[in-house]
Structure 1
Amino acid sequence: MWGALLRRGGRGAGGLRGLASGGPPWSQVVSEAEKIVGYPTSFMSLRCLLSDELSNIAMQVRKLVGTKHPLLDTARGFVYDSRNNLQMRGLVVLLISKAAGPSTADLSFQHNMVSGIYSSQRSLAEITELIHTAFLVHRGIVNIGELKSCNGPLKDMQFGNKMAVLSGDFLLANACTSLAQLQNTKVVELISSAIGDLVQGIYYENSKSSEENCLTDDICISTWKEQVFLSHSALLAKSCQAAMELAKHSTEIQDMAFQYGKHMSMSHKLHSDLQPFVKESSPDTVAFSLNSAPAVLHQEFLGREAWIKQIREAQGKGNIMDYKKLQGAIKAGKGVTSAIDLCRFHGNRALAALERFPPSEARAALANIVYAVTRFP
């Protein structure tokens, strides 16, 4: 089914290209998109990050240098993220705001727009990034019971956990304060429900990751998509919808913005899951999640019993996983090609949602983001 949809390709009524035609690389897509919205989104939450409170937290985090606490990697990502993923959500909110423009019901307020974007929509983009960053920080809490001596002294790792909780809560509190200042009940409801979705999705991930050495559940790809929507797509989808609500756009346009955010972020997650299986530059086999899309699809095609047998065969002494062996087994099956098809299927759904927006640089940038996350070697 997915392959048939992808082969339609061509240009849509609004001039959008089919996924087969490709597009510029991710770094170029982000750079060009930032020019369109008016400023680099790497400065999106700079006001909060440079506040006195967070500066004090940053000073405390320096005590973790020399340990392997994941909060350090998260902190480095605030300064430089080589994958250009950190500020992607706020950038998309700004782009879709500019692509939609002012609604016919709100033409009298165009003087409040800068570079075609309302100030309230820019605030929403910052809120979205603060929420995402807060949850990134909270994900850096480690299980003390599973620590090894090479990770660092126990007291330092416990201190790192306290810092992860406090700094994440601080960012989330700032996001909620800014959200209330938008004074829009529907937007507050949308973003609040997105935070609830994030909590539910991350709780599920954490509860399953500690079970039986990360063996996967017997789940189908539809269940996987439901879980990924909660933990990865809900925030962006509902933020895009909220941006349309702030500009008083119709429910139809709001739904199209939601659909774009949902399907683009699903493609983004699938693209990320596929990297260990499609990268040609790295000779080393990278450890991957057994709950990633290629593994889940591989299990569907292979059957639960045969999949568990492959996992057992890849486990050596001390239950240490031979990821290279397991990676080879997955690549030999249909899981990788099916995950690529699914990634492009969601990409096509995102492009279809964009057809409801008038042609513009911002819409073209949104399409280029889709092309970038559906390209594979």
Structure 2
Amino acid sequence: MVVAEVPKLASAAEYFFKMGVEGKRFRPTVLLLMATALNVRVPEPLHDGVEDALATELRTRQQCIAEITEMIHVASLLHDDVLDDADTRRGIGSLNFVMGNKLAVLAGDFLLSRACVALASLKNTEVVTLLATVVEHLVTGETMQMTTSSDQRCSMDYYMQKTYYKTASLISNSCKAIALLAGQTAEVAILAFDYGKNLGLAYQLIDDVLDFTGTSASLGKGSLSDIRHGIITAPILFAMEEFPQLRTVVEQGFEDSSNVDIALEYLGKSRGIQKTRELAVKHANLAAAAIDSLPENNDEDVTKSRRALLDLTHRVITRNK
């Protein structure tokens, strides 16, 4: 889908889709598993007949949703890196660092435009609305992060709303789109949405933890990227509940590295990391409950896919990178 007439733009747009830097492909994996979990089988080997033709067409349309989702996700990363003046992404030079801010912004815009073209080809108004809302949420979440008041910055409710917009909206609405294309009921579509929402929130909460801990068990060995950028995440918010005096440090900001050290000291004395993990587990369990609530189906492929979706809820909260 990422095809551009201008070679430089094509190279920029394909930057994070190339072998070796393409990321975990977490979202497309979830969406394709969800498609099969909702009784959309891959018709192999193909047989002549209307049923197989319809199944093939549906699978193709659902794969299109997975591709659209990844393009929107990568576009948001490109734009975020420009806003954050980042110089690395996924262990390599960020696109804005390698090719400059202007081309990085244009590459992100191009991916969004290609996603829109692909979305329009599905000719499903409800699905188009869902994915268009996702783009709105991404912009809203980023703006919320950039323009917080002191009270909002220290509010867990505000943080979780922002996290939904920036991280979980994409996967939740894409899961719902998969269900709608399959002709599932409104109830099943809501369960698919709930799975994606809670999986996305759990994923981000563990990211919050890993920013402080990394792959090491000792506190402070992570990248500390968020706090150094002045972004207050769940572990610090939970620590602040135990040690209200930490709020003064947060309000002063973290341009002064000594404030980072003070915040880490409070975090180390608190249950902030543990409570963030517990909240992630809560959302992972809610995601698993959504899969368990799907209508019974004895098809072997459906069973395997649902089991894989359940396994993902465990993997998300036990990962160390």
TM-score by length of 1: 0.68
Q: Which runs of structure 2 are paired with 1:68-83 in the superposition (5 Å)?
A: 75=15, 78-81=18-21
Distance 2:222 2:40 in 1: 49
Question: Structure 1 residues 250, 310: closer, same or farther in 2, change over 3 A?
Answer: same
Q: Quick check: 2:202–2:283 contact (8 Å CA) kept in 1?
A: yes
Q: Which runs of structure 2 are paired with 1:1-377 in the superposition (5 Å)?
A: 47-48=1-2, 51-53=3-5, 55-57=7-9, 75=15, 78-81=18-21, 84-85=23-24, 87-102=25-40, 109-114=51-56, 118-142=59-83, 160-208=100-148, 217-279=152-214, 281=216, 284-290=221-227, 291-303=232-244, 306-310=245-249, 319-321=256-258, 323-357=260-294, 358=297, 360-375=303-318
Deviations 1:302-353 (A, max 9, x none): 22xx0134458996xx723464553232021121111011000000000000
- Specify the code of the residue in structure 1 equivalent to 2:286: R
- Specify the code of the residue in structure 2 equivalent to 1:370: T
- Specify the code of the residue in structure 1 equivalent to 2:133: S
1:101 Cα offset (Å): 1.2
Distance 1:220 1:312 in 2: 13
Distance 1:302 1:52 in 2: 53
> Which 5+ residue runs of structure 2 have no aligned equivalent?
42-48, 88-95
1:121 Cα offset (Å): 0.4
Q: Quick check: 1:134–1:171 contact (8 Å CA) kept in 2?
A: yes
Distance 1:364 1:331 in 2: 37
Q: Quick check: 2:211–2:226 contact (8 Å CA) kept in 1?
A: no
- Residue 41 of structure 1 aligns with which residue? none
- Specify the code of the residue in structure 2 equivalent to 1:57: L
Distance 2:192 2:28 in 1: 14
Q: Quick check: 1:101–1:117 contact (8 Å CA) kept in 2?
A: no
Deviations 1:12-51 (A, max 9, x none): xxxxxxxxxxxxxxxxxxxxxxxxxxxxxxxxxxx41xx3
Q: Secondary structure at the match of 1:360?
A: helix
Distance 2:103 2:312 in 1: 34
1:207 Cα offset (Å): 3.3
Distance 1:88 1:55 in 2: 28
Q: Quick check: 2:38–2:179 contact (8 Å CA) kept in 1?
A: yes
Tell me: higher relative CO, structure 1 or 2? Use CA pairs within 8 A at least 6 residues apart: 1
Q: Once the two structures are aligned, what percentage of the paired residues are identical?
A: 25
1:143 Cα offset (Å): 6.9
Distance 1:288 1:117 in 2: 41
Deviations 1:167-208 (A, max 9, x none): 111100000000000011110111111111111111222334
Distance 2:308 2:195 in 1: 13
TM-score by length of 2: 0.79
- Specify the code of the residue in structure 2 equivalent to 1:332: K
1:108 Cα offset (Å): 6.3
Distance 1:342 1:143 in 2: 27
RMSD: 3.4
Distance 2:171 2:253 in 1: 37
**Matched residue pairs, number?**
293
- Specify the code of the residue in structure 1 equivalent to 2:109: D
Question: Structure 1 residues 372, 54: closer, same or farther in 2, change over 3 A?
Answer: farther
